[in-house]
Structure 1
Amino acid sequence: MNRAVKRLITLASALSLSLVALPAAHSAPGTYWTPERMRSAVPLDTLTVSPSALRTTVATGAPTTIEPLAFPNGGSAWTGGGAVVKTAGRVFFTYQGRNASCSGNAVTSANKSTVITAGHCVKLDGAYHTNVAFVPAYNNGNAPYGTWNARATYATPQWDASEDINYDIGSIVVGQVGGQYLTDVVGAQGIAFNQAKADNMYAFGYPAASPYDGTKLVYCSGTTFNAFLSNGIGMTCNMTGGASGGPWFKTFSEATGTGTLNSVNSYKINFFPNWMFGPYFGADAQNLYAKAQAA
């Protein structure tokens, strides 16, 4: 992300030849992330940028306007149950000396230990976060399926190099808990790449900034559209800080709570607070996933 964009961030705070991975500093399970620390973690806000700052990232010929949307779900507590209740969770970490939170989701992987989130949920302002952990099915300080500490965190090369909002994708590889692998305990969602941008999708997360409090899994649903100021996709959604990194699903079934992950909550534009944007899952996202699941 260039300096102009960084100044405009508000925080409540291809085939690439390489991916960046750093060991995640963390305490033993159950020692650092106590219920009290989880409840008091400040949400890392969804990045909020100005249209003028993002315009420089748009490819020549990209559209600059879109048709107004209808009014799909703007953000409601998920009460449908199903697999997503266990595969989605909150991501906790220490950022610049404070405890903070995002969202993430466990995906099908060879190592049974891979969580997909946003790039800024693993690294921001030039440094990787520490004390990174994933808490599936988080419930107001409770971790019904355990607290899964990261053993490595990954980001796309573009995010690592310049925090480019077009590649705001990260991954967390967690260690075992009680001798078990993450997805053996909570299940996993599928993941896909190089898909059509316009589709019916569901976005999930644990927004923790007002009017939400981080205690509930929240979702939005609707037809996605081409992001007109980046190469990503957009959806009508009013989730707030803490939702960053939460999964966007194609072919989502409300009956079973299963879908195919195809983006994550990434940023908002300050002129359009009811729209959420996510990065396009192309070759770079696929490389990131391949690297993480092989770790």
Structure 2
Amino acid sequence: MRRKLLASGVALGLLGATALATPAHAANVVSAPLAFSAAEAQQVAAFWLADGAANLKAATPFAPPHEVRGERTSGAIVPSTQPVQYNPVAPLAEGDLPQTAGKVFFVGGDEQPHWCSGAAVHTQYRNVVATAAHCVYDTVGAPVTTHNWVFIPGSAEGATPFGLYVGKRAFTHYDFTQYQDHDRDFAFVNVYSGVVPSADGTLTTNGRLADIVGGQGLTFNQEINETTAPAVDIFGFPAGPHPDGTRPYTGQSLERSTGRTSAMSLSSPPADQLVGVESPFTGDGSLGSAWLKDYSDEHGLGYLNGITTGVSDTDGDGRYDTGASPYFDTELAMIFKAAAASWTGRIT
């Protein structure tokens, strides 16, 4: 499903909230606005916080739009260029780690509120969230952006312990928006500075996302093979059942699993180069979970090197045992760099 990189230009079309920019000269970076004015962002925040955060409490975990069938393999993924990494940044205040992990909330094509997992990533403007592209774009028919998109780090039962961050603009890969390519199921979203509700219901500015909760680093072009494949820590909010019907997770608390990565061979959906990881996470709610390489328990920080876009039961025992992610390569880094260069600001 991969196309060769034909050009390095970036399309930054400022279209309507349900439209996508057409990449100029076949460039691969696509951006679309989510809430492109402070007034619109205030309405989005009010949607989630009104009536005692009723819509947050009513949101359901987003289910993977496709079943992943495949297995981890001993094959190797060898990058064409040298590995590169961007360093993380520590949170402002002490607390349970990692503070960067949270839920992304949105109203989907079914007009119902849903949530996925996501994580704050360190950039110069401290305003980027990484998640799965399926948690930003509704792919029923032609992909369009979802409505009322927000990120809430540390979210649980309607609480906003570090504030609520309204999405301003989403960046993803052309192949996802045009072909729903599973190899490109990732998105980076710029968010406005956070807000917290005051006692009288008004919104007060909290601060930039990574200033408050910190930001994970990012690394790409890492070699994957059975002898040197790194172990990663996965953080997310799984909530769905295993194929056998058991429900080990509720989605109300941050969960962690640790496993080794490998190349992955799929029979469905079509994909050329996915990475697999040993993980018992179920699918619903866990899309967008962060895979962190070299994670430090002391600091709650590491290097983002994967994003859960599906889960698979590879041995047929009725329980999921593998998470799948796009391979973090130079083209993903290009999407990230475009998001990192986008400033947002405050909504109050």
TM bucket by the smaller chain? Answer: 0.7 to 0.9
Q: Residue 236 of structure 1 corresponds to which residue in structure 2?
A: 278
Q: Residue 202 of structure 1 corresponds to which residue in structure 2?
A: 233
Q: Which runs of structure 1 show a deviation greater than 6 angstroms over 4 or more consecutive aligned residues? A: none
Which residue, out of 41, 44, 47, partners 2:62? 44
Q: Residue 116 of structure 2 corresponds to which residue in structure 1?
A: 102
Is there any run of 5+ residues in structure 2 with no aligned partner, and where? Answer: 9-26, 75-93, 195-204, 242-246, 343-348
Is there any run of 5+ residues in structure 1 with no aligned partner, and where? Answer: 2-13, 55-63, 68-80
Which residue, out of 138, 154, 157, partners 2:171? 154
Q: CA RMSD in A?
A: 2.2
Q: Tell which deviates more after alignment, 99-108 or 28-37.
A: 28-37
Q: Residue 309 of structure 2 corresponds to which residue in structure 1?
A: 266
Whole-angstrom distance in 2 between the partners of 1:165 and 1:89: 23
Whole-angstrom distance in 1 between the partners of 2:255 and 2:73: 26
Listed one character per residue, the Cα deviations across residues 132-177 of structure 1 (whole Å, up to 9, x for unaligned) are 0000111221011111000111211111111100111101100113
1:91 equivalenced with 2:101 (yes/no): no
Give the counterpart letter for 1:219 in structure 2.
Answer: R
Listed one character per residue, the Cα deviations across residues 89-108 of structure 1 (whole Å, up to 9, x for unaligned) are 00000111111111111111
**Matched residue of 1:36: which SS?**
helix
Higher Cα Rg: structure 1 or 2? 2
Q: Residue 23 of structure 1 corresponds to which residue in structure 2?
A: 33
After superposition, where does 1:133-148 map in structure 2 within 5 Å?
A: 133-148=150-165
| TM-score, normalising length: structure 2 | 0.69
Q: Residue 207 of structure 2 corresponds to which residue in structure 1?
A: 180
Whole-angstrom distance in 2 between the partners of 1:202 and 1:196: 17
1:208 Cα deviation from its structure 2 partner = 2.7
State the percentage of identical aligned residues.
27
Whole-angstrom distance in 2 between the partners of 1:105 and 1:84: 12
After superposition, where does 1:248-287 map in structure 2 within 5 Å?
A: 248-269=291-312, 273-287=320-334
Q: Residue 200 of structure 2 corresponds to which residue in structure 1?
A: none
| TM-score, normalising length: structure 1 | 0.81
- Are residues 254 and 46 of structure 1, via their aligned partners in 2, closer, same or farther at CA, if it must alter by over 3 Å? farther
Whole-angstrom distance in 1 between the partners of 2:333 and 2:323: 22
1:33 equivalenced with 2:48 (yes/no): yes
Counterpart contact for 1:90–1:206, Cα < 8 Å: yes
Listed one character per residue, the Cα deviations across residues 2-60 of structure 1 (whole Å, up to 9, x for unaligned) are xxxxxxxxxxxx47524111110464164111332122212112344254xx8xxxxxx
**Matched residue of 1:255: which SS?**
coil
